[in-house]
Structures are given as structure tokens and as C-alpha cells.
Amino acid sequence: MKQLLGNQITGVTMNELWMSVGSLILGIAATVVVSRYYFQRSFVKSLTPYIQFSSSPLRGIDPKVREQVEVKYQGHKIENLFEIQFLIANTGDKAIRDIIEPLVIGVPPNSSLLDASILHVSPEGRKIDIEVPEQRNEVRFIFPLLNSDDFFITKLLLNGSPKEEEFTFSIVADELPPKLRPVHLPYEFIGTSKKREFAFPLLTAGLVLTGLGLAITKLIYDSWSTLPSWSVVGPWDFVVGLGTSGWATIISILPAFLLLLLGVMVTVSAFTEGSFPPPKKKFIVPDNKQLLRRRGFPRIVEYEVKEIE
């Protein structure tokens, strides 16, 4: 009897020891991963050109109607009007300065540049100059400094039918690649200074799920001491001696983990506009329809149109 009691006590002690060691290892691993991530980010320099939207207003017009319409922009006859808007941002954690050669957007072949303009600069007052050479085959952006999260929005108007992937971006600056790859701007990355209301339903649901997960975890913890010790009885006797209650305890670990994970995700999303993982910092622009244009939204473009008599 004393030996059996001693084995049970030893089994309980070993189980608690293994749980403590496992928790310690997971905690150390998580700390190392998070620390390494933020340490590496502190040395990242990144300039990202986002494609905010593009549009061909004359595309899709009936050919018979198109023959009867003459489109001009600043005196230039337009065959195929194309507009594209870029948001160019410092998405790294280091400031971009001491630029050797400016940022250049190359105009696709078989297209002519009609106009290029800067619509918005953040923060206000940041100096961004724009230059267009006589050949009008590229657009140059000259800026002495772009801190982390600084950005500007530019719009190009062309005569032609280029594809978005045909626009090229190049720059010569320390720690930046010579060629930049444009990406589409996600819908949720841009917004105004207006804040959304706090999501109380998500908070409630998250707390309920977390509570259920904690309740199951408590039952697992209380039942764990009744399980035979793997190190004392051996692997085979451990599996055989589990019984229905033991297997139920082990199987319950998975739903407890999933409930806790889901509960934390839903709870956090209540503070992050319903998104998990939390969305990246938004590019805040004035509440202006032109600046808030996004891919897939209907657009109205006004140009000089004259019917041919």
C-alpha cells in the first residue's frame, strides 16, 4: 500500500513537473520569437509603392458612339484615357534620407504621359517635389526625408492602354533595392481620422469563449492528477490504464486550446475594428472622395468632351 501510494504521489509530482517544464519552454520560445521579430524590424528600411486604383473611363463604350465623340485633355486629343493613382509610403522602421538618385516611375511603352500631380502628403509640410522630363517617359519624385509611416499620393494621367504591372519603380538609396515592386493597396489600409465605434458584441463573445476555454482547462487540470504517470508505469501501461475518463481528459485539451485561442482572437478584434491579427497602421487621409478612391468602386471622371459634327 505504501509503495502504491508512493508511486501515485511520484506520478502526480512528475506530471506537474512535465507541465511546468513544458510551460517554461513555450514561454521562452515565444519570448525569443517576439524579441527577434521586433529586433529585426528595428533595422528594416522599406519604401512601398501601393496601387490605389486605376481606371480607363473610355473602355467599354460602344464603337459607334465612340466614333462620334472627341475627347480632349488640356488641348490634347485622347484616344484611350487611362488614370492610375499610387500611394507611396515608408513602410519600414528607419527613415529614408540621403537619396542618391530620386524615386522614378517609368511610363509603360506605347503610352504618353499627359499629367502627373501630387494629391496629398503626410505629414503636412513634408517636402515632395515632382519632375517630368521633356520626353515625358517617366516621373521623378524628389524628397530629402521620408520618416517611418510618411507617405504621399500621386496621380498619373496617360493616353494609352497600359497594364498596371508595366509601371516600373526605381530608386538609388542606401539599404533600398534598386527596383521596387508595386502592390495593390488593401481596402482596410486607408481611412480618415474618423474612428469606428468600439465593438461590444465582439468583446462579449470573446469573453464568453475565453471563459469556456478556461473552464475546460480547469477540469483538465483537476483530472490530470488521476492519470497514471508515463515515467512510472511505462508507455503501454499508461495507454491501457487511461480508461474512459483519462482519454476524455486528454481529448479535451484540443477543444480547450481552440476555445482559448478563438476567445483571445475575438476579444482582441473588438479593439482592432473587428480584425485579427490587428490591421497594420492605416494611412490617414482627408475625407476626400478623390483620395479615398479604392479598387472596385465606381468612379466619375470629368473631361472635356465635344461631339463631332
- Taking the CB of residue 102, how many other CB atoms lie within 10 A of it? 17
Q: What's the CATH code of the domain at 91? A: 2.60.40.1170
Are residues 9 and 71 both part of a single domain? no
Domain annotation covers residue 281? no
Are residues 181 and 204 both part of a single domain? no
Q: Is the peptide bond before 123 cis (omega within 30 degrees of 0)?
A: yes
Domain annotation covers residue 202? yes
Q: What is this structure's pTM? A: 0.61
Q: Is the dihedral of CA 181, 118, 176, 41 positive or negative?
A: negative
Domain span holding position 201: 197-272
Are residues 105 and 217 both part of a single domain? no
Are residues 149 and 298 both part of a single domain? yes
pLDDT at 296 over 60: no
Are residues 208 and 243 both part of a single domain? yes
Domain annotation covers residue 280? no
Look at the chain and report how many structural domains it folds into.
3
pLDDT of residue 222: 83
Q: What is the DSSP string of 58-92?
A: TTT--HHHHHTEEEEETTEEESSEEEEEEEEEE-S
Q: Is the dihedral of CA 175, 179, 182, 183 positive or negative?
A: negative
Per residue in 158-200, pLDDT tens? 998 899 999 999 999 998 999 999 999 887 787 766 555 567 7
- Report d(CA 192, CA 288) in Å as an integer: 9
Q: What is the DSSP string of 205-229?
A: HHHHHHHHHHHHHHHHHHHHTTSPP
Q: Is the peptide bond before 278 cis (omega within 30 degrees of 0)?
A: no
Q: Summarize the confidence of residues 62-79 as an average pLDDT.
A: 70
Are residues 147 and 293 both part of a single domain? yes
| More confident site: 204 or 77 | 204
Q: What percent of the chain has pLDDT over 70?
A: 66
pLDDT at 8 over 60: no
pLDDT of residue 142: 96
Per residue in 108-136, pLDDT tens? 998 999 999 999 999 999 999 999 999 89
Per residue in 214-270, pLDDT tens? 988 888 888 877 777 666 666 666 666 677 777 778 888 888 888 888 888 888 877
pLDDT of residue 301: 40
Are residues 291 and 181 both part of a single domain? yes
